[in-house]
Amino acid sequence: MNRGSIAQLRRWLTAGEWRAHPVRALVAAAAIALGVALGFAIHLINAAAFNEFSAAVKSLSGQADLQVRGTQSTFDESVYAMLEQRKEIVVASPVIEVDAAVPGRQGSLKILGIDVFQAGFIAPDLVGVPAEDRAFDTLADDAIFLSPAAMEWLQAKQGDRVQLRAGTQTVGLRVAGGLMRARAGQRIAVMDIGAAQWRFNRVGRLSHIELKLAPGIDRGAFRAALEKELPAGMIVTETEAQEARTANMSRAYRVNLNMLALVALFTGAFLVFSTQALSVLRRRSQLALLRVSGMTRREVLAHILGEGAFLGIAGSLAGIAGGYAIAAAALRLFGGDLGGGYFPGVQPSAQFSLPAAITFFLLGTTAALLGCAAPAWEAARARPAQALKSGSEDIALSRLASPWPSLACLAAGGAMSQLPPVFELPVFGYLSIALLLIGGIGLMPRMAALVFSFLSRVLIHPRSNAVTALALGRLANAPNQASIALGGVLSSFSLMVAMAIMVASFRVSVDDWLSQVLAADLYVRSAAGGNTGAFAPAEQKAIATAPGVARADFLRVSQLTLDPARPPVALLARTIDTADPGRILPLVGEPVPAANLPADAVPVWISEAMTDLYGFHPGDRYKLPLAGQTRDVFVAGVWRDYVRQSGALQMRLSDYRQLTGDVEVNDAALWLHAGSATSQVIESLRRLPFGDALEFSEPAEIRAISLRIFDRSFAVTYLLEAVAMVIGLFGVAATFSAQTLARAKEFGMLRHVGVMRRQILAMLAAEGSLLTVLGIAVGFLLGSAISLILVFVVNPQSFHWTMQLHMPWGMIAAVGGVLLVSAALTALASGRYAVSGDAVRAVREDW
């Protein structure tokens, strides 16, 4: 037979297979498409949000070469006078940055106070556009210029007045014009720097100074020299450092989402494997006939790989198109945060990325090729004489029964779980999970043989039910075919269990953490967002002595930059008892005893992230830049913080005030007298002169809001968990259907010897149930092991916090029950089709 005839036979073989069983091919391609679509969509969403956020941040710095800022949020403006005298600096543009709270609204309005004459040379886009007859509004003390997004958010137009919060007072400003070149979704406002300092109690303070250097100045050398001359607590950065901070802040979140999306692709690859493996087994005699007709092993290998590649190509192309559509819809409906909250104030749009599309196309195609590699290798190595005989199907899969490669994968996975992160990402943690999955699935043939052989010896005896004996006999003597269906159950259920345990553990840990940190009866603040809400000492005294208040603890929150390439660290000052810090702080481990605290250093308590990111450890001394000076601090303990993954420090409020001279606070936690009703205390506080500016929250309300934010943040995880489960169910259905059809001759022979049709159906339902029970049992063990890596390796290495393990037994049992019933019904439905034909026709070729 010539090559043309062989090629035509190959086309007929493929076309006939897909015409006869189109649903299985479509399900396999759809699984690849779904994995590619989710991964591509998440990449596009995060890339669009990150790029737009970076562009918005860059627009604020304009064409500046360097930026001078303090380690705290503001610094003394005398630094500006010093910089103006440097001949290397052409323009120095001072900026005061305020996140102004808006009464009655969640969120804040970012206000930039600028020197219009200096800013025009560096960031002209920030200069407001006043009305034609009021050109000097850019210098007016009551004028503010809003971006289009800010106008829409505040529902204001030119000429209107907007109300903002400064401490407990309300500041009314006139909308004098707009910022025409602000990026879409960028919610910012601009006003004169002197007016901003005065209106928001920042007189004599600056947030940063933008520098434009003279031509020919070596930026790096000048930056190094300037850092040495500036006072303590000042840093000099390039504008690119802001983009690096954003990238570092959101990188772990973005990588984790992409890894979760690849879970669906992994499951799709296994679905391709099961589809192709069963297809090859069913066509074993046809492929052997082609070998006899002159087709070489290499051509058989290429033929089967070509079928898998076609599924991968079709699925990947559909996935890329679907991923772009999902990204565009998600960005339009939900914005670019995906629940993470890393990219506020931007309105990104989906931009098709050819490199990313090629990457995910190759990922999808490679997954399909890997899925069909083992069936293709078996088809190429099969001996034609043996393959032409019926009943050799399970022998063809005997190579899968070798446990050593799988055991090696499990051992390597366990070892990798103990390795440290790479560039602060849990690379080895993800590799460990992949190896555990591959090793667990690879052990299924040996596991099935051992379990079902044991059950057949124990349960089959002369008085056994015929259906039970047939089902156990089949599973015990053909474990390799059974393991294909078993692997589908295992892969989907283990991944579902792992993610369910991880999310439940995190949620329960957050709930317990909230119960500890929300110990007061009532919480009071003057603004729900921003950094302009504060209580002065007289207002603090009025709150603490209000009727019904037994005790008041105050909190001051500020920011501290320890590394220009990282987001600022939160600095929290509150009342802390050094003898018993665990009464206020959710400590991790034992704190340093009060008797061991040094007298010449300020005690601080660090969050877990500070250990990973900055190398802080209990019992050590460090220097912190505070209020323009370097202060000695002593780490007295570590506490758990589920809010700030970039790190946080806590110190006593008295120490903070002594070191910085800052006497204002942001929040008040109130403990009430026994018998005092919360509503009565709120009413008495509202009668204070500044009572209209107060906002009240009870612990239950804060907990409910926090858990709602948690659920929104993990919405994508819930979606991917559901997707993995659906793909697994499709895989179980396709696998049972294909196996049942491939066993038509077996069923025909059983009918010949007197087995009734309903008994065959019962046998199939029993097989499906037994396989699924074993898959669920092993999947639970494997999923639990993977969840340990997610909880104790991936999450700490990604987000720098720990959590307690919690098992969602109800959810796992419910999903396991659904999977068990679905598998039994699928096997039963497939069996009804397989036994509906003529029994004689089914075994005719063996006569």
pLDDT of residue 337: 59
Task: Annotate 47-72 with DSSP letters as a single string.
Answer: HHHHHHHHHHHHHHHTT-SEEEEESB
Q: Compute the Cα dihedral for 400, 404, 405, 409 and give only its sign.
A: positive
- pLDDT tens string 579-628: 999 989 999 989 999 999 998 899 999 999 999 999 999 999 999 988 88
Nearest residue to 614 via CA among 342, 428, 795, 800: 800
Q: What is the pTM of this model?
A: 0.83
Identity of the residue numbered 387: A
Euclidean distance between CA atoms 801 and 793, whole angstroms: 10
pLDDT of residue 846: 45
Whether residue 490 contacts residue 482, with contact meaning beta carbons closer than 8 Å, is answered with no
Instruction: List CB contacts of 524: < 8 A, sequence separation 6 or more.
Output: 543, 667, 668, 670, 685, 694, 695, 696
Polymer length of the chain:
847
Alpha helices in 629-694 (DSSP H): 653-660, 678-686
- pLDDT tens string 205-244: 999 999 999 998 998 899 999 988 998 889 998 876 666 6
Strand partners, 93: 210
pLDDT of residue 403: 81
pLDDT of residue 501: 93
Beta-carbon count within 10 A of 703 CB: 17
* Cα 370 from chain centroid (whole Å): 27
Crossing angle (nearest 10°) for helices 757-789 and 809-834? 150
| Residues of the chain under the 70 pLDDT cut | 1-21, 23-24, 240-250, 260-261, 264, 267, 271, 275, 278-279, 281-282, 284, 293, 334-346, 384-401, 462-464, 478-485, 488, 716, 720-721, 723-744, 827, 830-847
**How many degrees, rounded to 5, is the angle at CA 102 between CA 100 and CA 107?**
80
* Cα 710 from chain centroid (whole Å): 12
Euclidean distance between CA atoms 407 and 592, whole angstroms: 44
pLDDT of residue 816: 86
Nearest residue to 270 via CA among 722, 718, 717, 724: 724
> Tokens 């929290």 correspond to what residue?
572
Whether residue 379 contacts residue 280, with contact meaning beta carbons closer than 8 Å, is answered with yes
Euclidean distance between CA atoms 577 and 575, whole angstroms: 7
pLDDT of residue 847: 40
Whether residue 7 contacts residue 291, with contact meaning beta carbons closer than 8 Å, is answered with no
Whether residue 601 contacts residue 595, with contact meaning beta carbons closer than 8 Å, is answered with no
